[in-house]
Amino acid sequence: QSMGHTFYIFQMAVLCKVRRVILASSNHVMGGYKDISTHGPASVHPHSDPMVGTLPLNPQTLALSGDARAYAAAKLAGERLAMTLAELHGDTTSFVVLRIGWCQPGENLPATLTAAGSPPEFLLDGEEEGGGANGEEDNAKKQGEEDDKKDELWFKRMWLSNRDFLSYFDAALRLEVPTTEGDGEGPHRNVRRGFVLVNAMSKNKDAKWNLDQTEKWLGVVSTDDSLA
């Protein structure tokens, strides 16, 4: 349904000659980079090869939070449709895609981020805060806790503060999208005729997400850091 809604809205926007469409895409499009050690800080660009899905290391946490690959694939399909429609109709309807970082409902505080990515009041029934193992075996519990700590750091490094969230969307409404071929790089170049795609996270210490294109096109320089 999510994919269908996106397609219908995009098509109607083009038919009605809406000036600007903003797609709230997801960090899950690039979630496969989470466990790749060869990619260090600021190495995941908007034009990097997509690696859909963010899979928790702890099997129990994965069972509770679910497999994000289908969700990520739907978001990637939306991005590609936006890119295609922009190429055809970018002179009247332009598209800005924000790959949203990790947001929580309400206050969205870094202190409430967990390996499952949810604040305590939004955890699923039966889920322990932190998403650790059930303790039936000490070695399994310890391994689960270690895995959750690694995943929790991933979430904190892609946190998007409420302030940056609003600033990014406001800038996406106002920015001048290219009407000719843009200056993006590689086969997945993120700037094209009628189309701009950027990462949308806060400036968290040692994050893999590169924000150079975000700052260039949106003109927003984040000062929020979940690890500060």
Report the pLDDT value the prediction gives residue 92, as an integer from 0 to 100: 96
pLDDT (tens digit, 9 = 90+) per residue, 53-69? Answer: 887 777 777 776 667 88
Q: Which of 199, 219, 214, 197 is nearest to 159 (CA)?
A: 199
Average pLDDT of the chain? 87
Q: How confident is the model at residue 133 (pLDDT cuts 50, 70, 90)?
A: very low
Report the pLDDT value the prediction gives residue 68, as an integer from 0 to 100: 81
**Distances from the Cα of 217 to the Cα of 93, 150, 151, 196, 221, angstroms:** 18, 32, 30, 8, 11
**Largest alpha-carbon pair distance within the chain?**
61
Report the pLDDT value the prediction gives residue 119, as an integer from 0 to 100: 55
More confident residue, 139 or 203: 203
Q: How many residues does the chain have?
A: 228
CA gap 190, 65 in Å, rounded: 30
Q: How confident is the model at residue 141 (pLDDT cuts 50, 70, 90)?
A: confident
Residue 131 has pLDDT above 60, yes or no: no
Residue 125 backbone zone (phi > 0: left; psi -120 to 50: alpha; other: beta): beta
**In the predicted model, what is the mean pLDDT of residues 172-183?**
86
